[in-house]
Amino acid sequence: MASASATLLKSSPIIDKSEWIKGQNLRHPSVCFVRSHPTSAAFTVRASSYADELVKTAKTVASPGRGILAMDESNATCGKRLASIGLENTEANRQAYRTLLVSAPGLGNYISGAILFEETLYQSTIDGKKMVDVLVEQNIVPGIKVDKGLVPLPGSNNESWCQGLDGLSSRTAAYYQQGARFAKWRTVVSIPNGPSALAVKEAAWGLARYAAISQDSGLVPIVEPEILLDGDHGIDRTFEVAQKVWAEVFFYLAENNVMFEGILLKPSMVTPGAECKDKATPQQVADYTLKLLHRRIPPAVPGIMFLSGGQSEVEATLNLNAMNQSPNPWHVSFSYARALQNTCLKTWGGRPENVKAAQDTLLVRAKANSLAQLGKYTGEGESEEAEKGMFVKGYVY
């Protein structure tokens, strides 16, 4: 038993930045043992061979003054973004835009992780450098979207479930070899559609299975049950649903032996529905959201990386700033897509001569959210474009 315990506690290899992208196979078999007691049933204690590395990765992403750039739009969704500035959805145009993002000078001062789509993980910049290499040089941890999207959930109230567990183990192992060190799985809960107990349970179980599989492959899982903004409900209803969803999520994470120190969360902020007449101030959003976190999220979780969910760029930053006006047990930060990219994309417009101006715009937005993570954002000097809401009813990613 002593030798088994020693094996369990033995540190796994921790790789430096240069090894993120070498594609070395550092995998070791998972360790498990069974303790038997005369008066109780035997139970299994499982430890991932990547335990130390997972904790290190999570803490790196959840580092002070930094957050996540979510640039994991599928090719179809990226096409919508490009269409908004009059560009055709081609691999060359997607490559040009993603190159602009990852190569923005000094981006790593404000961004600790970047979530990529599979195409981007294997893609090179227009200069021929691997996207993953460029990120690592910027001290940004590469991540990867691993879910396969939402489909209708039979037996529910017109709700959905997230597919992608089939083959996930082999895919996450390959993504680790390619340099990814964390993963993202997004499922959603709709308040106007119930949410039904079936939909909540399905979302929680799927997230827990994904998280366990990801950790087994060396990837820190971002756990993201997004409570959609759609609806005219008030903030109290959102809070009620969020409590139920997060209770279910952490129950199934524990059931699947997921190590909480090696995960990150990507929740929605607690806000009224987008069509609610009673709007909430940043302080109200902060109060409700922090109350939810304190009731439901164990302090062992290193980072809470909020999604923006259709808020305007400024609104998302103001709300984050309000949540960081006092110390929190977790790193409370951001994992924004449109709330970081919207003005940047429009500034670029697909024109090579606008690349620097677009990158400068991205850095302004990233710095604003960095300050918000530190509780030091003032909101001064924001553009009119950054204050425009981005909610789209029934939005499909």
Residues noted as catalytic: 224, 266
| Kind and range of the H or E run holding 83 | helix 75-83
What is the token pair recorded at 344?
Answer: 């940047």
What is the Cα Rg of the chain in Å? 21
Q: How many CB atoms lie within 10 A of CB 356?
A: 14
Answer whether 335's CB lies under 8 Å from 352's CB: no
- C-alpha 125: how far from chain center: 23
In terms of DSSP bridges, do strands 182-189 and 220-227 run parallel, antiparallel, or are they unpaired? parallel
**Alpha carbon separation from 97 to 101, 259, 323, 368 (Å, rounded):** 6, 36, 32, 22
Q: Pick from 222, 216, 128, 182: which is nearest to 20 by CA?
A: 182
**Alpha carbon separation from 96 to 4, 144, 231, 295, 361 (Å, rounded):** 52, 19, 36, 44, 16
**Alpha carbon separation from 387 to 223, 314, 342, 391 (Å, rounded):** 28, 5, 11, 12
Helix and strand counts by DSSP (H, E) for the chain: 14, 12
Size (the chain), residues: 397
Answer whether 182's CB lies under 8 Å from 222's CB: yes
